[in-house]
Amino acid sequence: MTDADATGGRRQAELVTRLGAVRARIGAACDAAGTDMSTVTLIAVTKNHAVDDIATLARLSVFDIGESKDQEARAKLAELDETARSPLRWHLVGRLQTNKVNSVVTYAHAVHSVDRPKLARALADAAAERRSTPLEVFCQVSLDGDPDRGGVLEADLPALADLVAGRDELVLRGVMAVAPMDAEPDAAFEQLARISARLRREHPDADAISAGMSGDLEAAVRQGSTHVRVGSALLGRRDQIFS
């Protein structure tokens, strides 16, 4: 066995352990909430981690991969061979500039950070030209009303959701949020659950809730999250290999 194989083997063993621990946390939160674990999708947020980790996760049947930046996602995609790449679903979870949409629509399964009409229109226009299946969209909502941190204000969500739902190239899946820094996660995600319920009055199929990260996934699952985005608990400290 080469040193590289040994290192890869250790890393895989570490990921197996971490994945088990994260799944146990999600399972316990589902049990406590009386929901079935199959209703929660685990998205492995691999930003700032090596592409080898993505291949390892795929071997462990984790196919939902989250990245913050188009550039980094695209670089990793280019490094994966077809066998590793084909089962993956890429989720863009970070703030997205409209000049990235032509790239993003070529590989993304879902964008979780759609927070303004201009971005939604740009994604739909790019998708019309560059892909054959609709792009899944989560509207990112600001829970603290601070637009600098990303997210549409709750008052502006209905118009954004109508726009997304009105475009054949997009599928409105639901809402996404990050709990504000100083907020109590349960209260924040309860607020998001209320926003989701109001959205579903107009868009009954938009029932997904993308909420919960390494530090607050239990609170998110308690409040009905369907998509948890977990980075550091699954992969450890980020090495900043991409800038």
Ligand X SMILES: *Cc1c(COP(=O)(O)O)cnc(C)c1O
Span from 77-85, 100-108, 156-164, 213-221 in contact with ligand X (CB under 6 A): 213-221
Among residues 26, 29, 44, 45, which is the contact residue for ligand X, using CB under 6 A? 45
Rounded least distance, CB 32 to ligand X, Å: 20
Q: How many residues bind ligand X (CB under 6 A)?
A: 14
The least CB distance from residue 83 to ligand X, in Å, is 27
Q: Find how far residue 48's CA is from the centre of its chain.
A: 15
Stretch that binds ligand X, among 157-165, 166-174, 193-201, 212-220 (CB under 6 A): 212-220
88 part of the interface to ligand X, by CB under 6 A = no
Answer for which of 178, 192, 206, 219 binds ligand X (CB under 6 A) is 178
Instruction: Build a one-symbol-per-residue string for 217-236: x at contacts with ligand X by CB under 6 A, - elsewhere.
Output: ------------xxxxx---
Residue nearest to ligand X according to CB distances in the complex: 231
Distance CA 228, CA 38 (A): 12
Kindly state the smallest distance separating residue 181's Cβ from ligand X, in Å.
12
Instruction: Supply φ then ψ for residue 98, to 5 degrees.
Output: -65, -25
> 149: closest CA among 173, 179, 174?
179
- Position 24, amino acid: A
Stretch that binds ligand X, among 8-16, 75-83, 157-165, 209-217 (CB under 6 A): 209-217
DSSP 109: E
Q: How far apart are CA 29 and CA 42, in angstroms?
A: 13
Q: What is the 3-state secondary structure (H, E, C) of 113-182?
A: EECCHHHHHHHHHHHHHHCCCCEEEEEEECCCCCHHHCCECHHHHHHHHHHHHCCCCEEEEEEECCCCCC
Binding interface with ligand X (CB under 6 A)? 45, 47, 68, 93-94, 178, 213-215, 229-233
